[in-house]
Structure 1
Amino acid sequence: MIVCVCNCISDREITRHARAGMSFDELQLELGVATCCGSCESCARELVEQCNAAQPVAALAQAQSQDGTAWARA
């Protein structure tokens, strides 16, 4: 579904970037979401929040400090 009509940005694009760790502000800079008319801002913010809630950063940081290991990228 297209979320940002002005820049033709879909919910899939927003979700993909948010799951990669981008904040809403970073999405605005990268994709241009909610930078024209602004009518998509609430929907885009909600998508980012949903992705962040599904992958809480605090839980990862706590797990790292408990076992002493660092997360490595493959």
Structure 2
Amino acid sequence: MVICSCNSLTHKDVESAVAHGATRPSEIYASKRCKAQCGNCVPGVVCMLKEVRMRQRQAAETVAHAACLPVVVQSEALSA
């Protein structure tokens, strides 16, 4: 999906920039070597940035939580 038509900035570009450490809209534009021109895209970029960062945090929490779960061994496997 195109987020910024002036710069042909897509949701994939935003996701990639965040994956490479972008935490601010200006860093997302910089990753594509562009900047906001008309400004109509900025709210969309901010929304997408928040969404991608939230998904990253949720994924990290899931991994951290899974690492703390005990390993369950079925009793049949032990008796075999």
TM-score category, normalised to shorter length: 0.5 to 0.7
Other-structure match for 1:10: 10
Structure 2, unaligned stretches of length 5 or more? 65-80
How big is each residue's C-alpha offset from its partner over 1:1-49, in whole Å with a ceiling of 9 and x where there is no partner?
111111111111111211332112311222225x100101111111110
**Mapping of residues 11-50 of structure 1, within 5 Å:** 11-23=11-23, 24-31=25-32, 32-33=34-35, 35-50=36-51
Structure 1, unaligned stretches of length 5 or more? 64-74
Aligned structure 1 segments of 4 or more residues deviating by more than 4 angstroms: none
> Is the radius of gyration larger for structure 1 or structure 2?
2
Structure 1 vs Structure 2: percent identity of aligned residues?
Answer: 21
Aligned length: 58
CA RMSD of aligned residues (A): 2.0
- Contact 2:17-2:31 within 8 A present in 1 as well: no
TM-score by length of structure 1 reads 0.63
Task: Find the aligned partners of 2:26 and 2:8 in 1 and give their Cα distance.
Answer: 18
